[in-house]
Structure 1
Amino acid sequence: MTKHNVAITTSLLMTILLIPASAFAASPVEPDPDADVQIDAAGASFPFPLIDLWRVEYGKLYPNVQLNYQSIGSGGGVKNHISETIVFAASDAPLKPKESEAAPNTLHIPEAIGAVTIAYNLPGISESGLKLTGEVIADIFLGKITKFNDPAIQNLNPEVSLPDEDIVVAHRSDGAGTTFVFVSYLAKVSQEWDEKVGVGKSVEWPAGIGGKGNEGVANVVKTTPYSIGYIELAYAFQNDIPYAAVENADGTNFVLPSMQSIAAASAGAAPALPQAHESWYGISIINAPGDDSYPISTFTYLLVYENLNNVTNDPDTAQALVHMIYWMITDGQKFNESLHYVPIAPEVQKIGIDGLKRVQFNGESAWIESDTPSYAQPIVTEQPAVIEESVPQTYEQPVVVQQTNSQSLSSEMELLSFYITALIALIAIAVILVIILIIVNMSLVASIKKQIRN
């Protein structure tokens, strides 16, 4: 048997052996269907439309698990996380060093990638695409540019007749991750902003009126003629508010926020990202290079304690939490695009999954490996179902009985498929082993005959 034949046979054998591993990813056990669980969470309004949709869709699969998420802003979410009054938090801003000291062993689990839009209300101009540079945006929020027909804006938009009207600036009144992302961008493009105002979830605004949450700022812009503000992309779509095309980091293009331009901003970020249990402070894709990169793009995170005893004494809650977050960052990603969030890449999903495997309850791992294979696919290729864009609070609770029956049938079919695939794999392995034995036997016979002749 030649080395070449051995190499080919070994390669083929390894391919067969890898079939079950690549087809069925490891996953945590599902929530106990006999245990009613309520998971209290709070934080960023930036991902609230997505989290609320996840609440509905996960509830269809596991109706005994109820997620109660309060959209109070990243600042409020982080405070509640530190005080251990909620099971998990959501934030668009990673924990600062002092916050990490107050909440040690916090995991950062990326859940989606989104964009902060520069939304405006210009009567007579209902389309998106008003061109703005970062410096012009900073000067508007600094109160230096006060008219829409200011030469700094008009010169960027010669084809548009801009009105001689005062600009009403709208900003967040609460501590917000959306604010952190927006002012982080302004600090990168404007030295004056960096020196006079700085960066934070809450800042001293030089001009404007405040609104609470992305919902509040969106309402101010929508109802106030000649206003401008910053809101997450999903809120602009839900409220039918036009938004600006912002100059990219290279100064070569004015880019509208979209699935493609947000994805372009995050391209290549995964290899440089820390693990979930490490510090994420300073991690950013804001003002990323690239001709098609939208400059105000960002990850948004779920904050989870490694030791769940900090926030619950119920083992069923611990089990349900790990599975629910696992579902959000795997199967749940297929809903992202319907609400204008970019799904996280497989490498980023792995960061979250590895983080969840560190979670403990009562001194033991809260990640209990499931005997039933997971069918979560890291790369979402199918087009998600079209979902009507409406105010998130209007989602209704799912019908329990019908979904439970459907889930049971689906589980049986998946289990049957697993056994069939496993059987095929075992048969293939047996065939390969028989081929190897035949080849080895033929080689030995040939060798013996050669020795006899000699």
Structure 2
Amino acid sequence: MFINTGKRVALRRTLITATASVALLGAGAAMASVNVLETGSSLLYPLFNLWQPVYTKANPEVHLSTASTGSGTGQAQSMQGLVQIGASDAYLSDAQMKMHPSMLNIPLAISSQMVNYNVPGLNGKHLKLSGPVLAEIYSGKITRWNAPAIEKLNPGVSLPDHAIVTVHRSDGSGDTFIFTQYLSKSTPWWMNKYGYGTTISWAPVQGNIGAVGNPGMVDALKNNTYSIAYVGISYKAQIEKDHIGEAMLENRSGNFVLPTVKTIKAAAAAMVPKTPADQRISLIFAPGKYSYPIINYEYALIDSHQPSKKMAVTLRRFLTWAISPAGGNALHFMKKVNFVPLPPSAALQSGTQVAQISH
């Protein structure tokens, strides 16, 4: 369990009170219309697209626009003040926070990432892959699907003697950030040579493909047999529609697991209690028998110092709704994008950060 019953009740009361209090700030007279710009993570984009019509129908004065531009753009434009909400799968680094100390990294939900492949005859199976094997594939040390290291993980599976086509993000990407964190945490030499980030210097693997956004990753997989890629979980329906394979990944305990509600929650249970007040934390490679190794907070990057009271109030209202189980964190939203709602303790921390947004 993430939090005991007493604390869960207290949290629910806190969120209800916060929602009511923020709503009262706009009471008395209808708020003038306000434009809120969101851009960034293609992994988070489908959720914002679900939220947008529901929230704006209830709050017609808020004009919320969304754009899928990659986490790198979400980070950059939120720090530059070009948008009100930067969506990112990656929290801002220490260096970025030092340059922009008023920025907040506010988790909105918990997501995960798949590793997918298009190998004729094997897309209906769940091949087993590990961090070290993926590191060798993406560094060019393993170049063929029937390499001994892959065969060892998949005894009895007839693997083709064919070159592996690696696909990576060519834009600044939170998906690259969390994928390379998995490689770094599971494979020390990868950390030493390549590290992790929204962009990295990829090894010059022959035939590799760069793609833009999660839609580009899915298209690259679909159109290139024998390819492999990392794809955000919110695109699982498209992966299944295109009959693309999904790997079981080795977790920290040595077990091979798929991203399911059970395995994502198991990883979250191990890592969420470690979340600091500013909520900048990697949830990657969590301990635990059932923990899926690539899960993360989905962040809204917000400047705590807004240029007007109206904008500050608007952002507080929207974000309070977004993290509430009665609002944006409701299961019917989460299930559609294969996310997991914020555990109560994380939602409480997010609410504390939301309250810091002011004029």
Aligned residue pairs: how many?
Answer: 334
Equivalent position of 2:328 in the other structure: 332
Q: Decide whether aligned partners of structure 1 residues 57 and 21 sit closer, same or farther in structure 2, where only a CA change above 3 A counts.
A: closer
1:150-189 to structure 2, matched below 5 A, reads 150-189=147-186
- The TM-score, its normalising length taken from structure 1, stands at 0.70
Q: Is the 8 A contact 1:236 1:243 kept in 2?
A: no
Q: Which amino acid aligns with 2:289?
A: D
- Give the Cα–Cα distance (whole angstroms) in 2 for the partners of residues 182 and 173 of structure 1: 14
- % identical aligned pairs: 37
Q: Is the 8 A contact 1:178 1:231 kept in 2?
A: yes
1:61-140 to structure 2, matched below 5 A, reads 61-140=58-137
Q: Which amino acid aligns with 1:67?
A: L
1:316 aligns with 2:314: no
- Give the Cα–Cα distance (whole angstroms) in 1 for the partners of residues 14 and 173 of structure 2: 40
Q: Which amino acid aligns with 1:25?
A: T
1:25-67 Cα distance to aligned partner (Å, 9 max, x none): 3321176755322211211112111111111221232233221
Equivalent position of 2:138 in the other structure: 141
Q: Which amino acid aligns with 1:108?
A: N
Larger radius of gyration: 1
Q: Choose from 254, 260, 265 the match for 2:262.
A: 260
Q: Is the 8 A contact 1:114 1:299 kept in 2?
A: yes
1:67-103 Cα distance to aligned partner (Å, 9 max, x none): 1122111111111122111112111111112211222
Equivalent position of 1:250 in the other structure: 253
Contiguous gaps of at least 5 residues in structure 1: 1-17, 362-454
Q: Is the 8 A contact 1:41 1:69 kept in 2?
A: yes
User: Helix, strand or coil: the match of 1:287?
Assistant: coil
Equivalent position of 1:382 in the other structure: none
Q: Is the 8 A contact 1:183 1:199 kept in 2?
A: yes
Equivalent position of 1:25 in the other structure: 17
Q: Is the 8 A contact 1:116 1:230 kept in 2?
A: yes
- Give the Cα–Cα distance (whole angstroms) in 2 for the partners of residues 169 and 271 of structure 1: 35
Q: Which amino acid aligns with 1:272?
A: K
1:332-382 Cα distance to aligned partner (Å, 9 max, x none): 111112210011011111111111212112xxxxxxxxxxxxxxxxxxxxx
Contiguous gaps of at least 5 residues in structure 2: 1-9
Q: Is the 8 A contact 1:82 1:102 kept in 2?
A: no
1:171-320 to structure 2, matched below 5 A, reads 171-206=168-203, 207=205, 208-240=208-240, 241-251=244-254, 253-275=255-277, 278=278, 280=280, 283-309=281-307, 313=308, 315-320=309-314
- CA offset at residue 22 of structure 1? 8.0
- Give the Cα–Cα distance (whole angstroms) in 1 for the partners of residues 51 and 15 of structure 2: 25
Q: Is the 8 A contact 2:270 2:286 kept in 1?
A: no
1:372-391 to structure 2, matched below 5 A, reads none
Equivalent position of 2:5 in the other structure: none
- Give the Cα–Cα distance (whole angstroms) in 1 for the partners of residues 189 and 148 of structure 2: 20
- Give the Cα–Cα distance (whole angstroms) in 2 for the partners of residues 96 and 125 of structure 1: 39
Q: Decide whether aligned partners of structure 1 residues 318 and 26 sit closer, same or farther in structure 2, where only a CA change above 3 A counts.
A: closer
Q: Is the 8 A contact 2:251 2:293 kept in 1?
A: yes
1:215-255 Cα distance to aligned partner (Å, 9 max, x none): 2112111221110000111213223232100111011x210
Q: Is the 8 A contact 2:123 2:246 kept in 1?
A: no
1:141-193 Cα distance to aligned partner (Å, 9 max, x none): 11111111112112222232111111110000011111111101101111221
- Give the Cα–Cα distance (whole angstroms) in 1 for the partners of residues 214 and 128 of structure 2: 22
Equivalent position of 2:355 in the other structure: 357
- CA offset at residue 24 of structure 1? 5.0
User: Helix, strand or coil: the match of 2:163?
Assistant: coil
4+ runs of 1 displaced by more than 6 Å? none
Q: Decide whether aligned partners of structure 1 residues 129 and 164 sit closer, same or farther in structure 2, where only a CA change above 3 A counts.
A: same
